[in-house]
Structure 1
Amino acid sequence: MTGKFRYFLLLLCAVVWLGNSALAGEISEVSVVGEGEYTRITLASDTEIRHGIFSLAHNGQRAIAIDFPDARVGTSAVTPAPTGAVTSYEILGGGIAFRLSHAVEVSRALSIGPTTADPRHRLVVDLVRVSPVRFDREAAVDVDRRAAFLSGEGAGPAEAVEMAAAEPASRKRVIVIDPGHGGHDPGASAHDLTREKTIVLATSQALKTKLDATGRYTVHLTRSDDTYIDHEDRVSMARNWGADLFISVHADAAGNSSVSGATVYTLSARGERRVDGTASANGWQLPVEDGTSQEIVGILTDLTKRETKTNSSIFAEMLIPELAGAGPIVRNSHRRENFFVLLAPDVPAVLVEIGFLTNRADVARLSSQQGRDRTAAAIANAIDTYFAQAAGHTAVN
């Protein structure tokens, strides 16, 4: 953060943030995770966080301020390095200024109450990329909004805030593992005629065993034997089971036998354009109450798709370092493709290529029980991390 911009933030924030000594709560965690156009900020506190969210702009530099006049960030708060649109953040008394790499707006803000698993209150703020002109226009309006909020006359940008009840802590997360190919479709083949459909089924079964052993998840396989299942049915299974995460497991092939390692795919921009049509054709519409206007249905659908895309990318970024610890990964290992099994509008999904069957070392690794177990453990660890972050607490090992 440049010195001039930091001084600008201090001028804006110091008086109102540092002036209140009668505090109601303490922020114990600040998390910023994002990828591409979407970023999520999460604050955790011992009390409900009365907050305002505002845009700040000065000489072409931009920030998002979250003001919480009744709380402070604790001296022992967990504050990992940010990713996504946030390059850094400044903690100053009763607020945080998040310095941005590009213009964003708040697409949603959720206040989540305590659960038995996590007694903290959480504020989750989702940001989406917008044009600089749009950001600067909002920042100009926010000058007065913010002054009203900090003086106690306003409640912040209410149009961006909705309350969401936390799910019961006892509910197990539903994981759907999709072993690719099967039956008449063998997938790729190795030099020793090892078939992709066999390798990915064995790896998927190892992953299910590891997840079942934790007791934290309900785990389904789209196939548990050598059966072919249409792509549409694989996605429908995940939705019907209420999947919180869908992982399609495959093995790759290349013309160059030296290419090796794992790859993680999320949905491409071209695929995003197919979501609505595919969902309509397959009956994957979101459940809404009868009589809901089409305008509201459209808004809810758009929010859900944005959240699905964000969470898919967040999980992909968590999965890659785990896979790197279990074996080789390809260069630019998070890629985007127009794969059908990634098209559900409401289920975060990735497709994992666990190695190349055209590479002898990958074949040896994936043909061994030890190699498959290491890959399965890597995916399981990423799942634990992903859902631990969603719950606002540290993963249980």
Structure 2
Amino acid sequence: MIRRAWRLAGNGQLWLAALMAGAIVIATGDITPVEAASSGDVVNVRLGGAPNQTRLVIDLQASAKGELLSREEDQQRAVLGLSGIDVGAALSGQGQGLVKGWKLDTTAGMTRLRLDFSRNARIARRFLLPPADGISTYRYVIDVVAADAPAPQTVSAKTVADTAPIPPALRTEAADKPRTGKKIIVVDAGHGGHDPGARGASSWEKDVNLEAAKALKAKLEATGRYKVIMTRDSDVYVDKVARVRIARNANADLFISLHSDSGPNTATKGASIYTLSDSGTERAARNAMNRGDWALPTGATDKTVGRILIDLTQRATKNRSATFAELMLDNMDGTVPLLKGSHRQAGFVVLLAADVPAVLLEMGFITNAEDERRLNDSGDRNRMAGQLVKAIDQYFANDVRYASFGFVAR
């Protein structure tokens, strides 16, 4: 089966890495699109504003180079020249925050952007973001601050210890140590202890999951390329939230949760993979903003800054998770029976970390006789683990600068 190719954005991620690694962040509030702002290479114009800070984003079909044409001491307006793009018909609109209004047009072969300020203001910085992580457009970003505003806040990306309980034997200090050359994979055996999961004809899900996790760990460590952390390595119960924290505290590069499916129809069989749904993404953001769960403590008092950081990271993480899920399915196809519609989305707790690419693999239906036999067969387990290792190798073969909070801060 030929599946749609998913590709990571390569160096297009560097802007996010730079942002997370202590770049200046402007607290701009929600960035909202301006209606009917589309002409030539301009796809959209968006603004977001706070009393002393406003961001304007121009979505473009092509790369642009900006040049300040007005005098720097002019605090009532600013004019920028944007070379490399064509506006077509002139565009204009009302502003927000410090931007009273804006206009884009082409004069003498050069595209110009005029910004009229609502009070004395200046451009603090401007930069171009390339297409990346599912975003097909270039984005020219302009940050405007009040003329008398202090220097913009610098947001540190240093990870601090989380407070949710983690079993002592599973605690790690990896987040406080420099990264080694090995990628860190967290393998999560679903259920355990007093939570047995689904019941098959002759086995419990918790036991099947644990054996599969051990097989995957052995295969990964045999390559010499990976450090593997298991959320449990015996028949114990580990809280779902603690499983997420284990991955975050370890600065994990991937989180793989292994489960066995079940259903009332014993004829249903096949594996499937879940990545985070849109509703789960919003839930994770709410957790992060309201309780600080699974998000980087930014040190910022302005919640807008924190939400922008979380949104940026979630977008990258969600797309990386989807990329990995497709690689898993491509490698498993032909070795493991796949359920129809095998790539699915859900808001499972173990997928909610904003900065760790995560998948939940339902390895098969324990309520189906054929799948249960396969799930309990060591040979089949090892074959599946081998295919998963191939998918992991392919995922990391994409030369990507990972933008998880803890990594880029090093």
TM-score, normalised with respect to structure 2: 0.58
Structure-2 residue corresponding to 1:284:
294
Change (3 A) 1:327 1:291: closer
2:83 to 144, 148, 154: 148
Residue 129 (structure 2) aligned to one of 144, 160, 163: 160
- Secondary structure of the equivalent of 1:159? strand
SS in 1 for 2:359: strand
Query: Shift of residue 391 of structure 1?
Result: 4.4
Check whether the contact 1:206–1:373 (CA below 8 A) recurs between aligned residues: yes
How far does residue 284 in structure 1 lie from its aligned partner after superposition? 2.3
- Report how far residue 286 of structure 1 moved: 1.1
State the AA in 2 paired with 1:187: G
Tell me the amino acid that sits aligned with residue 387 of structure 2: A
Structure 2 unaligned segments of length 5 or more: list them: 18-32, 44-57, 66-81, 86-108, 113-125, 132-177, 402-410
Corresponding residue to 1:257 among 255, 266, 271:
266
> 1:370 aligned to 372, 376, 379, which one?
379
Uncovered stretches (5+) of structure 1, i.e. residues with no partner: 1-31, 44-105, 113-129, 163-167, 393-397
Task: Work out which of the residue numbers 240, 244, 247 in structure 2 matches 1:238.
Answer: 247
Q: Partner of 1:171: helix, strand, or coil?
A: coil
SS in structure 2 at match of 1:274: helix
Tell me the secondary structure at the aligned position of residue 307 of structure 1: helix
Q: Displacement, 1:278? A: 2.5
- 2:308 aligns to what? 299
Matching residue of 2:28: none
CA gap of 1:170–1:181, structure 2 versus 1, over 3 A, is closer
**Alignment root-mean-square deviation, CA:** 3.5
What's the counterpart of residue 5 of structure 1?
A: none
- Map of 2:319 onto structure 1: 310
Contact 1:191-1:358 at 8 Å conserved across structures? yes
Once the 2 structures are TM-superposed, how far is the Cα of residue 170 of structure 1 from its aligned partner?
Answer: 5.2
Measure, in 2, the Cα distance between the counterparts of 1:346 and 1:328.
31
1:173 to 183, 191, 201: 183
User: 2:226 corresponds to which residue?
Assistant: 217
> Structure 1 residues 273, 370: CA separation in 2 closer, same or farther (over 3 Å shift)?
same
Query: What do residues 263-320 of structure 1 show as CA deviations (whole Å, max 9, x unaligned)?
Result: 00011122112112223436322143x4575443332221101011111111111111
Partner of 2:352: 343
Question: What corresponds to 1:208 in structure 2?
Answer: 217
Instruction: Note if contact 1:254-1:358 (Cα within 8 Å) is conserved in structure 2.
Output: yes
Higher RCO (Cα < 8 Å, 6 or more apart): 2
> 1:183 pairs with 193, 202, 206, which one?
193
Q: Are residues 131 and 42 of structure 1, via their aligned partners in 2, closer, same or farther at CA, if it must alter by over 3 Å?
A: farther
Q: Is the 8 A contact 1:33 1:40 kept in 2?
A: no
Number of residues of Structure 1 aligned to a counterpart in Structure 2: 269
TM-superposed deviation, 1:134? 5.5
Counterpart residue identity of residue 251, structure 2: G
**Local SS of the residue matching 1:257:** coil
